[in-house]
A and B are shown apart, each in its own frame.
Chain A
């Protein structure tokens, strides 16, 4: 490759393939860009990695030193050599997956990884065969970093560590927006939309629907509507209307606009 790396780009090699990426790119992202698959459970393109689940381990050689790192948070560096498939990597990955399989035997992503990496035996007798949560923290980070509401967080240490609302009580701030469910890789977060309210079952929180100011239909959780109004005052009017009325309203104004245009 004759490509010059500039200050803001770095060249590294991953399993022998060379690649140039912007500085600050993680090794995981760089690898994915050239089609090298590294499993990752606590990483999301929007949130980045947390370095928590440890399935994305790879070996790197930097400054002549070889070591195991988590690729989801390890920054690509000039001249870095990355190995994603060595015996050592596979052994660690298998061990971690076996532990996750014991922790969350009902999580599909974990089962699939277990099959792929041949660690189908859980590391110990699972205490709850229905358990799904792998404590990747994506819900926590979604709620705290993306939505910035902070309704759910980690509680307790070690084996007792859980995600949830403070003291597992009904949350006064959860918007019932459901973003956490979208990002959760294991399908652990349960939400049920009822007639009068949205029940965030996993967070023990019910939030009543907002009724469309035009047609009276339920369409969004009331707290979410309030939140959106505050976040975006110019759209305040828009969010109090259900999507259907909004569409109809838009269509109507189109018609009016074209009528006006015709008139001119």
Chain B
């Protein structure tokens, strides 16, 4: 949606003037309805809600006075579709198309709240009116993701209205490249893609490197299963990435950028493409940006669909059109990278932090976080957690607060067991260590890692051996296969874990897992292999008793591993409701019904025929009275 037509901006004053005119125009708008169009809300059917609003506003003749803004993800995916009405900030959740006429009649026209759409805070059981009061948001600090609500990603004016490209203008007009690097270094910003390397230092190496041209690259491959932090930024606020890259390019001395986007993210590709086009038209990308004499442009590359292509050297090979295999990095990519030239690769979130630091200063940034981990981190919070979604927290917050205060704890009254942090090759952290702060070093010390921001919560029904097997299977399949230890070692570890889950493990297997894990860590070529043993080693470290139960007692304490469990019905608890009978796919359950009539009526408890049972858990999940037991 374009409201302000503009020519190419040829100077810094032009940008200020344009921004002022957009802001002046925006002030006239009385009401804005902000609709989340992110992936979570889409899954809950927000498209129908958006359509309903469009039509209804037209019908009511409100299309002039009420602005409709469809944005990227707001974070609270669990409660989608989300609607926020400004300026009051009224927060509606779980909105359907049917609710829309009433929202317009009552809330927009008469300032009345729709009680049923308000969010109830889990802790206090109180209904709240605005987003600010929602517990899920209250403990967050959304310096990167917060802007999503202000911005229709297809509309550069929205980005300009909230100060977009002012950091670029500041950098180009008032700062020398060295000064920019100094500030980024001082801020303490570290890479958000996994390694946690100091961003300023990386820029400096690339700036110092011999050779021309130099490239700046953005890693939007985001291959971690269940992660969607970078997706949210690329889809919801693409200009923040472009602005960060442009500032970085100026500091490093590069005129060409590349954004490598995961192939499964077509909307990110589309929105980035639109953003690049708009930025070019306004002279914020291309030749002689804002009349500064600095040239910079960006190309988008679509990923090759492999997890390993997120690794820096594999990513560069892939952009070059070669097979996405990693190579040794004894000569850094800042010296010899893409097309053999000095290249600086940063993660999407890393780039998005840059304009903030330039605008608000390194001291502001480094005031957030711990001694060596500064700023905020965006996590995707998934698994057995009440509030699934995207959260942005200051570094240093303890894991317990993320899971219980923001995430609202574990559903269905179950107990927390572990949180897996750092993506598929992260580590599993137990309850006793939940007071660990989010901090690069402290997480690494626990055998986990910051990774790119995946947080998978597991409850008492999760078998930690099975989880280790699950991640090992993923890594084994995603290993590129170039180097021996990762290709063969992950397979051997997977076979051992499978054996243990099937009740055929031995105590020597546990030792072998540890030895092999260490061998794969030390001998592998790239980060995939060197970190692949983490899930196994961390579960062996913190949940050894579960391994022992599988190996020695042939028992799966969580009741997950099929070969080691059986299901039975506790007759006293069974109400003969027959839900389990209907759920069983192989007709292994008899009884579970009521016989006779009136006073004669008797309950016949359900009985599971162990020979027929295929251990699919369907009865266990179906029973509402906890009458099905796993042993």
Contacts and interface: CB of A to CB of B under 8 A. Distances in A.
11 contacts: A51-B483, A52-B484, A53-B483, A70-B328, A75-B331, A95-B489, A100-B488, A154-B323, A157-B478, A158-B476, A161-B487
A137 B327 CA distance: 13
Interface size class for chain B? 20 to 34
Interface string A88-104: 10011001100110110
Interface string B331-366: 100000000000000000000000000000000000
Nearest to B482: A52
Interface in B289-342: 306, 308, 323, 325, 327-328, 330-331
B476 A159 contact: yes
Contacts of A70: 328, 525
B481 A69 contact: no
B492 A68 contact: no
Contacts of B325: 154
Contacts of A54: 483-485, 523-525
B330 A74 contact: yes
A124 B495 contact: yes
Interface string A78-94: 00000000001001100
A2 B97 CA distance: 85
Given A103-B488, A154-B325, A91 B479 contact: no
A88 B523 CA distance: 10
Interface residues of A, number: 35
B480 interface: yes
A157 B477 contact: yes
A158 B494 CA distance: 13
Contacts of A214: none
B280 interface: no
A88 B518 CA distance: 11
A99 B480 contact: no
A99 B489 contact: yes
Contacts of A92: 519, 522-523
Interface in A134-157: 134-135, 137, 153-154, 156-157
A55 B484 CA distance: 9
B235 to A, nearest CB: 28
A57 interface: yes
A227 to B, nearest CB: 23
Contacts of B481: 135, 154, 156-161
Contacts of B495: 124
A161 B491 CA distance: 13
A253 to B, nearest CB: 46
Scoring A134, A135, A137, A159 by chain B CB atoms within 10 A of each residue's CB, the highest score goes to A159
Given A96-B485, A103-B484, A124 B328 contact: no
B525 A51 contact: yes
A51 B484 contact: no
Nearest to A137: B482
A73 interface: yes
Contact of B306 (A52, A57, A88, A157): A157
A87 to B, nearest CB: 12
Nearest to A101: B488
Interface of A: 50-55, 57, 68-70, 73-75, 88, 91-92, 95-96, 99-100, 102-103, 123-124, 134-135, 137, 153-154, 156-161
A53 B484 contact: yes
Contacts of B327: 51, 73
A137 B515 CA distance: 28
A171 B516 CA distance: 39
Contacts of A156: 481
B525 A123 contact: no
Given A73-B328, A123-B488, A159-B491, A68 B523 contact: yes
Contacts of A134: 484
A64 B330 CA distance: 16
Interface string B497-528: 00000000000000000011001001111000
Contacts of A124: 488, 491-492, 495
A81 to B, nearest CB: 15
Interface string B87-123: 0000000000000000000000000000000000000
Contacts of A99: 484-485, 488-489, 492
A153 B323 contact: yes
B219 interface: no
A51 B477 contact: no
Contacts of A52: 482-484, 525
A70 B522 CA distance: 11
B452 interface: no
Nearest to A24: B331
A50 B313 CA distance: 14
Nearest to A72: B328
Scoring B476, B495, B523, B525 by chain A CB atoms within 10 A of each residue's CB, the highest score goes to B523
B611 to A, nearest CB: 32
Contacts of B516: 95
A74 B480 CA distance: 21
Interface in B452-490: 476-485, 487-490
Nearest 10 interchain pairs by C-beta:
A161-B481, A99-B488, A95-B519, A158-B479, A51-B328, A73-B328, A158-B481, A92-B523, A54-B484, A52-B482
Contacts of A88: 522
Scoring A54, A57, A74 by chain B CB atoms within 10 A of each residue's CB, the highest score goes to A54
Contact of A158 (B328, B477, B485): B477
Given A135-B481, A157-B477, 20 more contacts: A52-B484, A91-B519, A95-B485, A95-B489, A95-B519, A95-B523, A96-B523, A103-B484, A124-B488, A124-B491, A124-B495, A135-B484, A137-B482, A154-B325, A157-B308, A157-B478, A157-B479, A157-B480, A157-B481, A161-B487
